[in-house]
Amino acid sequence: MPRRRSPGDGGLWKDHDRGLWIGSVEIPSTDGKRRQKRVASKNRNEAIRKLKELRKAVDAGRIAVTGKTTVESWLERWIEDIRGPKLRPGTKDDYARTIRLHINPHIGTKRLDRLTAQDVRVMQTSIKASRTAQLAHVILRSALDDAIKEGMLSRNVAEVADKPKHLTKAREPLSAAQAKQLLRSAIDTKDPWATRWAAALLLGARQGEILGLQWSRLDLDNGIADFRWQLQQLEQTHGCGERHSDGTYPCGKVRVGYCPSRRWDLPRGFEHQILHRSLALTSPKTRAGTRIVPIPAPLWVMLEQYKPTTIPRYDSEVEGDIRNPHDLVWRHEDGRPVSPRDDYANWQTALETAGLPAAPLHVARNTCATLLAEAGVPEDIRMAILGQVSLTAHRSYVYIDQSRTRDAMKALDQLLG
């Protein structure tokens, strides 16, 4: 008698109506339902060969089914349970926003196992911003890779579709004259944030690094600033349970702020210190971000003059009391940290007062990089000051002053007579 197949080997039989040998193997699924994959051939030996290949593919995890799992439902699980817990809060917010606004509207209703490379291409071309299209591609490719690891897919169709190209638009920094104009205006108008703008232009630190700088990490005896922490706005999540189909949660609310059981949505081991509501001090995401920077002489003088007015005092009975419970260099009069949004508004006001056009706050960082380059500071030293690892990223910060290059090109006139 022929040997009985072991469980998992698959079945083989002949369909006499069609004259075909049929082989079947049970496929793992995510919804608990039993499903099969079949092969067929008129030749018995060929059917056995196909059945063995199918069995190998299933064992290797290259074939799986997802039932009615859609792209949207998988991405929701992926960002919340699989990849999200490993991401920094800011990165997770960017991913979730891109999924909600740009991926789901185009392919969210597609069945995960029926998603094609053409579907991915259509999604990419439907996104107007090239950087967003690129990010959507990166997110989807990563999510599908994890779907393969979970045994839900056999291949990643996002790898077949080409990654969208994105050309970074260089930010034109303030010139040395404009930087002086801004600082002189801030000083003359007694702008309370004058030292903050000086720090941005002369230290090249990121917004969060400056807003999170504390007096205990500012050594004015030796002129050193320690950017060990940065101020960041963190997100909370509902702690009352899973979201209902109508968008509400067990607490009856949609917005996280109204949930009585809300909790911080942070990855395990994430270093942070909550200061005020959603504002917290966090550690940099890379070693290069944790750095000690020398304070330029002009800023050093400004900080020396600024410090006596910000000595922490906590006795509310004292008339004219200036509170600074978090030891922050720049904060509101009542001691609250300055939110990134308020800081940006203050920056635009300072530019307008100085008679300069509106510009992103990050331009101050580009300005510092350019001023350092114009001063002849070596590239590796500039990167250490700005806390950058990538040479390409650093060079995108440095703007070439065309007047200087024009002077340099005049040397060719002499060579050519």
Based on the domain organization, do 208 and 297 belong to the same domain? yes
Three-class DSSP category at 407: helix
**Of residues 299, 268, 309, 275, the one with CA closest to residue 368:** 299
User: Which two tokens mark 373?
Assistant: 């380059």
Based on the domain organization, do 112 and 141 belong to the same domain? yes
Region 154-179: mean pLDDT is 84
pLDDT class of 254 with cuts at 50, 70, 90? confident
Based on the domain organization, do 228 and 356 belong to the same domain? yes
In CATH, what number is assigned to the domain containing residue 307? 1.10.443.10
Q: What are 258-274's pLDDT values in tens digits?
A: 888 888 888 878 889 99
* Count of domains for the chain: 3
Pairwise pLDDT comparison (189 vs 84), residue with the higher score: 189
pLDDT for the residue 136: 96
Q: What percent of the chain is predicted at pLDDT more than 70?
A: 77
User: Which two tokens mark 372?
Assistant: 């350092």
Please provide residue 263's backbone torsions phi and psi, each rounded to the nearest 5 degrees.
-140, 165
Is residue 293 one of the residues assigned to a domain? yes
Asked whether the beta carbons of 339 and 325 are under 8 A apart, the reply is no
Say how far apart CA 365 and CA 340 lie, in whole Å: 15
Based on the domain organization, do 45 and 101 belong to the same domain? no
Based on the domain organization, do 113 and 146 belong to the same domain? yes
Is residue 248 one of the residues assigned to a domain? no
Pairwise pLDDT comparison (8 vs 205), residue with the higher score: 205
pLDDT class of 369 with cuts at 50, 70, 90? confident
Global confidence as pTM: 0.65
Based on the domain organization, do 297 and 342 belong to the same domain? yes
| Burial class for 350, CB neighbours closer than 10 Å (0-12, 13-18, 19+) | buried
Range of the domain at 298: 176-234+278-365
Is residue 265 one of the residues assigned to a domain? no
pLDDT for the residue 153: 83
| Burial class for 260, CB neighbours closer than 10 Å (0-12, 13-18, 19+) | exposed
pLDDT for the residue 268: 78
Is residue 401 one of the residues assigned to a domain? no
Q: What average pLDDT does the structure give for the chain?
A: 81
Which range of 144-153, 282-291, 323-332, 396-405 scores highest in mean pLDDT? It is 323-332
Based on the domain organization, do 335 and 358 belong to the same domain? yes
User: Which two tokens mark 119?
Assistant: 């579907």
Asked whether the predicted pLDDT for residue 29 surpasses 70, the reply is: no
Is residue 348 one of the residues assigned to a domain? yes
Of 111, 126, 159, the position where a domain reaches its end is: 159
State which H helix or E strand residue 343 sits in: helix 340-353
Least confident segment among 43-47, 65-69, 187-191, 317-321: 317-321
Q: What percent of the chain is predicted at pLDDT more than 90?
A: 35
pLDDT for the residue 412: 41
Say how far apart CA 354 and CA 286 lie, in whole Å: 35
- For tokens 């089914």, the residue is 65
pLDDT for the residue 309: 54
What's the distance, CA 341 to chain centroid? 18
Asked whether the predicted pLDDT for residue 403 surpasses 60, the reply is: no
Is residue 181 one of the residues assigned to a domain? yes
Asked whether the predicted pLDDT for residue 135 surpasses 60, the reply is: yes
Is residue 97 one of the residues assigned to a domain? yes
Based on the domain organization, do 79 and 149 belong to the same domain? yes
Asked whether the beta carbons of 202 and 298 are under 8 A apart, the reply is yes
Based on the domain organization, do 54 and 189 belong to the same domain? no
State which H helix or E strand residue 200 sits in: helix 194-203
Based on the domain organization, do 187 and 309 belong to the same domain? yes
User: Which two tokens mark 328?
Assistant: 């922050």
Asked whether the predicted pLDDT for residue 42 surpasses 80, the reply is: yes
pLDDT class of 291 with cuts at 50, 70, 90? confident
Is residue 222 one of the residues assigned to a domain? yes
In CATH, what number is assigned to the domain containing residue 137? 1.10.150.130
pLDDT for the residue 317: 45
User: Which two tokens mark 124?
Assistant: 């990419």
Based on the domain organization, do 207 and 89 belong to the same domain? no
Based on the domain organization, do 143 and 17 belong to the same domain? no
375 torsion bin: left (phi>0), alpha (psi -120 to 50), beta (else): alpha
- For tokens 């092969």, the residue is 39
Least confident segment among 103-112, 160-169, 231-240, 342-351: 160-169
User: Which two tokens mark 221?
Assistant: 């005896």
User: Which two tokens mark 387?
Assistant: 């806390």
For the chain, the straight-line distance linking the first and the last C-alpha, in angstroms and rounded, comes to: 101
